Chains A and B, each alone.
Chain A
Amino acid sequence: MTVPVSYYLALSAVVFLTGLVGVLIRRNIIIILLSVELMLNATNINFVAFSQYLHNVAGQVFVFFALTVAAAEVAVGLAIIIALYRAKSTINVDEFSLLKW
Chain B
Amino acid sequence: MELAFFLYFAFVITTTSALVVAFRNPIYSALSLLIMFFHVAGLYVTLHAEFLAAVQIIVYAGAILVLYLFVVMLLNIKQDDRYHQQWPFAGLIGGLLLAEALVLTVERYRAPAVATSEAESVVAQSGNTEAIAEVLYSTYLFPFEVASVILLVAMIGAILLAKRDLQEAPRS
Contact = CB atoms under 8 A, between A and B. Distances in A.
Contacts of B164: 86
Contacts of B101: 9-10, 13, 17
B87 A24 contact: yes
Nearest to B48: A52
Interface string A3-42: 1111101110111011111101111101101110110010
B161 A82 contact: yes
Interface string B1-26: 11100100010011001101100001
A67 B51 CA distance: 13
A31 B21 contact: yes
A100 B67 CA distance: 29
A10 B37 CA distance: 18
Contact of A18 (B21, B40, B114, B121): B21
Q: Which of B64, B86, B147, B157 has the most CB of A within 10 A?
A: B64
Contact of A72 (B51, B81, B154): B154
Contact of B40 (A2, A21, A44): A44
A73 B75 CA distance: 19
Interface of B: 1-3, 6, 10, 13-14, 17-18, 20-21, 26, 29-30, 33, 36-37, 40, 43-44, 46-49, 51-52, 55-56, 59-60, 63-64, 67-68, 71-72, 74-75, 77, 80-87, 89-91, 93-94, 97-98, 101-102, 105, 108-109, 111, 114-116, 118, 121-123, 128, 131-132, 135-136, 139-140, 143, 147, 150-151, 153-155, 157-162, 164, 167
A61 B77 contact: no
A52 B49 contact: yes
B29 A74 contact: no
Nearest to A37: B33
A25 B90 contact: yes
A98 to B, nearest CB: 14
B40 A41 contact: yes
B126 to A, nearest CB: 11
A98 B26 CA distance: 25
